[in-house]
A and B are shown apart, each in its own frame.
Chain A
Amino acid sequence: MKKETKAAVPAKPKVAFFDLACCEGCQLQVANLGEALLDILGAIDVVEFREVMSEKWDKDYDIAIVEGSITDAHAEERIKKIRARSKILIAYGSCATIGGVNGMKNGFELDEIRRYVYGKDYKFFDSAPTRPVHQVVKVDYFVHGCPIYPPELIEVLKCALRGIPYTVPASPVCAECKLNENVCMYERGISCLGPWTKAGCNSWCVNNGNICYGCRGEVKNPALAAGADVIARYGLKAELVKNKFEMYNKCKEGDADGRR
């Protein structure tokens, strides 16, 4: 993404929002911006947004903002068409950026889990292993999180509009958690995925008394020795940590070079 950032887009860029397999919570995060949304709408021209608009657009998009994972042949075809029509593609939300909870499906034998949910008629409902967007088409910007953290989306939008790169924080959630003065979950005798997960959410869940579930994906360069130390020091089972991690990060197995 950094090497090939496009030139700045024209004054009133045409922006479209799309959703693949997801809960549509990230587009609600956009709606939840409140009146600030109108400021954004002043800078861009939203040409498609199915959940809130009936208008359709048949030309190219300056920016396509895509939520959700690719879980069937139809979605694969759709995302390829969207990519072909878009100058810049932003994947937002865990389902789009890392596969998210949709990836847990990949831990089961596909026909077995389909039959479990849909019974003997399961073949009526096409289903393929879950993939995040970048495993199917090129992604220019990533906005991680389940759901996205609105201030980060605004930062990424600003970067995309100016044609400059956005760097996802390389530090773990713990870095932000410390600044927020939370008592470490490990010190409370509870395991948490903060040490392995990309920061950028302002340690949202831990601030509210919960643990980190790893929804922003694994840090690019995890401190493996420190991780092993945490596991040993607090008597954790490595397989339990892995199991926790797979709630959001199962699709990582599909990243050939582990790069996101």
Chain B
Amino acid sequence: MAAAKNLEIKVEYVTRVEGHGNIVANVKNGRIEKCEFHVVESPRLFEGMLRGRSIFEAQHITSRICGICSCGHTLSSIQAAEDALGVEPTAQTVKLRKLLLDYEMLDSHLLHVYLLAAPDALGVPSFVPLIGTHNAVVRRALRMKKAVNDVCDILAGRHVHPITAIVGGFTKLPRQADLDAQIRILESMAGDMEETLALAKTLKFPEFERETEYVALVSGDGEYPLLSGDIGSTDGKRFKKKDYRKATNEFVDPRSSAKFTRLSRESFFVGALARFNLNSAKLHPKAKAAAKELGLKAPCHNPYLNTAAQVVEVVHCYHHALELLKEMRREGLDYAQQVTVGANEKGAVPVRAGKGVGAVEVPRGILYHEYETDKAGLIRNANCIIPTNQNINNIEHDFAKLLPEILHMPKDEIRLRLEMLVRAYDPCISCSAHYLDVEFVER
């Protein structure tokens, strides 16, 4: 039956993803003519706009690339700026940044698991019908999201476009009472964390396998690498972050005006599942136990299970954050390390001509920022490579394998499976709308 099938699917503006993307699939007489994922976000030209701005403004501006990953952009931007300026963050600052990144993972993953992905598994078009049928689940989701938002408010002023994290450190350091408040809020989530895992166990994910290359930060120490590390892949590749262009290899595909990325084979995967496949041995013991309960084992080649890997990371980041907070509570903070953004600009941090790269694991994969400054500390060139952009090529290769396998299904089911696949990657399209690489031209 499938052999002679004709099918035309066009999903304009895939819903329950961040940003605007379309799916186009054409099948003629059972032969797939086209199955593509198009980014249709309006370009905002961030890299271009950064030129001429102070390197100390880069964090504030690039945070605005994406509301959901604004803490991730902040951390990658600061890392690139500090690299360009030759600033070495203190151990205390690194600890606080790791905490901020844990909060970013928790917030983003919870949003995706509960509000964007779970409705598919429960067979409804959004969380809104769930208010009636699964009221306790919706309340829990919103309660957890609010809790993470609240701890992030205490640490960084707010979660969407954090205020306190800048080059050199933090403009406001949490007092002991602020640390206690964060601990209290996180500990009050313990029951909801258990319930989240229980819910995740009931979610049904489609069966589908395609082995690909998985790329994530890797490190020599025992910590699950998120804030720093080298770039590594399951095909055995290793790069220093300054060589990130060798790991992303953008290329033009004649079928599309978009640029794609690849490394050792036709495409690669970044994000929770890639991190899990490379670094699962370093997860917090509670997260390892969660993976076991969910039946998730590395290596896992089912992209739909990226959502399950996110649940495992939720458990990891929750416990990691609590441990960091308790350590800081025990050891106390050095408040002399508080910094001021304006003081940076007035010479507290010396500027120089230089280049720097930031490579940080954000919820959807490795986020690269690169800046080049002139001797006055103004940005001459900027480049950001976004995880979703790295995944688009992999999504399309998944499509190519998946579509023939599901072609016997009704059209609505095919369409849903394709949409669910896109959603499993948790794409962040507003981020990737300026995804084309630029070459740094020497003037």
Contact = CB atoms under 8 A, between A and B. Distances in A.
Interface of A: 20-29, 31-35, 37-38, 41, 46, 49-55, 71-72, 74-75, 100-102, 104-105, 107-108, 113-114, 116-119, 121, 124-127, 146-147, 185, 188-192, 204-205, 207-211, 213, 247
A210 B42 contact: no
A72 B45 CA distance: 12
Contacts of B70: 23, 25
A176 to B, nearest CB: 15
Given A31-B111, A52-B127, A116-B48, A210 B64 contact: no
A210 B341 contact: yes
Q: Which among A27, A50, A247 has the highest number of chain B CB atoms within 10 Å?
A: A50
Interface string B157-169: 1111101101000
A54 B42 contact: no
| Nearest 9 interchain pairs by C-beta | A25-B67, A34-B146, A190-B342, A209-B171, A208-B157, A53-B126, A113-B48, A54-B125, A209-B172
A75 B18 CA distance: 17
Nearest to A186: B342
A189 B342 contact: yes
Interface in B70-128: 70, 111, 115-116, 119, 125-128
Nearest to B344: A190
Contact of A32 (B51, B128, B146): B146
B45 A113 contact: yes
A104 B138 CA distance: 39
A60 to B, nearest CB: 20
Interface in B41-65: 41-49, 51, 53, 57, 60-61, 64-65
Q: Which among B42, B163, B342, B346 has the highest number of chain A CB atoms within 10 Å?
A: B42
A34 B48 contact: no
B436 interface: yes
Contacts of B61: 101, 104, 247
Interface stretch (B9-17, B237-245, B323-331, B350-358): B9-17
25 contacts: A21-B44, A22-B67, A23-B66, A28-B160, A29-B67, A31-B145, A33-B146, A41-B128, A52-B16, A53-B126, A54-B125, A101-B64, A105-B45, A116-B48, A116-B51, A117-B436, A118-B43, A118-B436, A127-B42, A204-B157, A205-B157, A207-B157, A208-B163, A208-B164, A210-B341
B223 to A, nearest CB: 28
B36 to A, nearest CB: 15
Contacts, number: 199
Contacts of B46: 117
Contact of A24 (B19, B119, B341): B19
Contacts of B158: 147, 204
A247 B57 contact: yes
Contact of B161 (A55, A105, A113, A146): A146
Interface in B129-158: 131, 138-139, 142-143, 145-146, 149, 156-158
A210 B19 CA distance: 29
B346 A190 contact: yes
B434 interface: yes
Contact of A35 (B146, B164, B343): B146
A52 B126 contact: yes
B337 interface: no
A50 B15 contact: yes
B340 interface: yes
Contacts of B342: 185, 188-192, 211
Given A32-B149, A38-B139, A118-B43, 18 more contacts: A25-B67, A25-B68, A25-B70, A29-B67, A34-B142, A46-B128, A50-B13, A113-B49, A116-B51, A117-B45, A121-B436, A127-B43, A147-B67, A147-B161, A189-B342, A208-B163, A210-B171, A213-B60
B264 interface: no
Contacts of A247: 53, 57, 60-61
B163 A25 contact: no
Contacts of B119: 54
A52 B13 contact: no
Contacts of A119: 436, 438
A77 B57 CA distance: 33
Contacts of A146: 64, 161
B257 interface: yes
Given A52-B127, A118-B436, A208-B172, A24 B42 contact: no
B125 A55 contact: yes
B188 interface: no
Nearest to A75: B42
A52 B116 contact: yes
B295 to A, nearest CB: 28
A24 B68 contact: yes
B131 A24 contact: no
Given A46-B128, A190-B343, A209-B171, A117 B160 contact: no
A28 B363 CA distance: 16
A22 B430 contact: yes
Q: Which among B67, B164, B257 has the highest number of chain A CB atoms within 10 Å?
A: B67
A41 to B, nearest CB: 7
Contacts of B139: 35, 38
Nearest to A112: B48
B338 interface: yes
